[in-house]
Structure 1
């Protein structure tokens, strides 16, 4: 999940979007004797943004998903018990990885002994707008600006039983601009067709 320097495109809950519509200063043309039928007007940028994100869960839900699963990973790393993190996974993850395989996937991260608990009180910055993939999965990419190393994440969730369940997670512990370590389970290759597996870049 190493993507060089991330550009911060979302703030607050990582989910605030800004749009700007430039105005025209030219004087209006005189009205004709008989009004012509007006042409259809394009949708405003704000409407398009709302439509494009209509299927996303609320901002609070997405924030809770990110925090909950990174904290579950932190607990797993501290206790060497990945059964809780595995239980939080959806059918896609659980059918492909055992708790033991999850532990192996995050072995490099465990060796670095990172402190992930700070995510409980920090707000993430999304570096890519959250999206629903063609396969119906929710994908979020961002970072927690912790010091001296920041926590970068990529998470994918699948809808299951009326809630979002973990399908894959990549975690990077980095000192910008150099990436120190990365590990996790990669759920997408390509995004629309998830394929899990341990990654270490």
Structure 2
């Protein structure tokens, strides 16, 4: 299972390790039995928050400064296949759009995919940070390096945080809206004291 496949499955824009999936096959991929499946990761909530926040804040600082050296150095060897210049190219759109990820420091993420260990040994999780006017959707992959989880892949997209209501139907031009009381005919034998309402074209 490659990062490119994961991205296609979720419909997210693949970032970060885009060249990794093309150049490197994750370990044990060819020998993985078909029946082997992902299993829940043995990691507590605080550990999850630290991984998510440290990764996205490092990306935010890189986008704001244009310097991706630290982000690259924090990554696993498979992520470091990308040079700092290559990472700058990959994240050029987010940098140009001035995407601000600083809110991840105070907003709790909502996980749509709980942390799990993939058959290839990578730690995978996905979710979003609800915010206004848009939310940040993420998918992260981490590889074990010397007893620590280090970023292997980052996928981001930005979407609406709440459903958008359709526009209210407009009253047709030139049509008068008359309430039921106004439209009631006068009682028989009693002349109306008010002129009839008319619509001007």
Q: What is the TM-score normalised by the length of structure 1?
A: 0.60
- Partner-residue secondary structure (3-state), 1:97: coil
Q: Which runs of 5+ in 2 are unaligned?
A: 1-6, 12-38, 164-201
Could you tell me whether the CA contact under 8 Å between 1:131 and 1:138 is conserved in 2?
yes
What pairs up with 1:110-125 in 2 under 5 angstroms?
A: 110-125=95-110
Partners in 2 of 1:138 and 1:79 — Cα distance? 28
Partners in 1 of 2:135 and 2:103 — Cα distance? 10
Specify the alignment match of 2:94 in structure 1: 109
Structure whose CA Rg is larger: 2
Specify the alignment match of 1:151 in structure 2: 136
Partners in 2 of 1:111 and 1:149 — Cα distance? 17
Could you tell me whether the CA contact under 8 Å between 1:144 and 1:150 is conserved in 2?
yes
What pairs up with 1:29-44 in 2 under 5 angstroms?
A: none
Q: Deviation per CA, 1:112-147: give whole Å up to 9, x if none.
A: 111110000110001122210011110010000011
Specify the alignment match of 1:29 in structure 2: none
Q: CA RMSD in A?
A: 1.9
Q: What is the TM-score normalised by the length of structure 2?
A: 0.60
Shift of 1:173: 1.5
Specify the alignment match of 1:38 in structure 2: none
Partners in 2 of 1:124 and 1:75 — Cα distance? 19
Partners in 1 of 2:45 and 2:64 — Cα distance? 29
Partners in 2 of 1:164 and 1:173 — Cα distance? 25
